[in-house]
Amino acid sequence: EAKAFEELARSSETQELIQLFFNMNSRKKNPLQEKARLIKKISVLGAGFMGAGIANISALHNIQVLLKDVSVEAINDGQKKVWDDLDKKVKKRAL
């Protein structure tokens, strides 16, 4: 059985089928991926738990963040959450 497999694996038909498989799969890749732009800044609507988390992760990846909410208090709370998390990372020497 191993000998038969070896002969089959080395055959020209097998090599052509493998090449066909790779060619078909290379076409499945996203053609727009190469045209993606680098994100430098974002706006986050809502400074609650999720908005502050998005702002935090974005800031950690050097993306400028504009945090918006209906109230100034919510924005202040969101900013505090981000700064508190950054302070924790600095204290743990993770940043």
pLDDT score of 37: 80
pLDDT score of 31: 67
How many residues belong to the chain? 95
pLDDT score of 64: 96
Q: What is the pTM of this model?
A: 0.60
pLDDT in tens, 18-60: 999 888 877 777 666 677 788 999 999 999 999 999 999 999 9
Domain residue extents for the chain: 2-91
Q: Can you tell me which residue has the tokens 């963040």?
A: 65
Q: Write the DSSP symbol of residue 48.
A: S
3-state secondary structure of 44: strand
Q: Can you tell me which residue has the tokens 């800031």?
A: 59
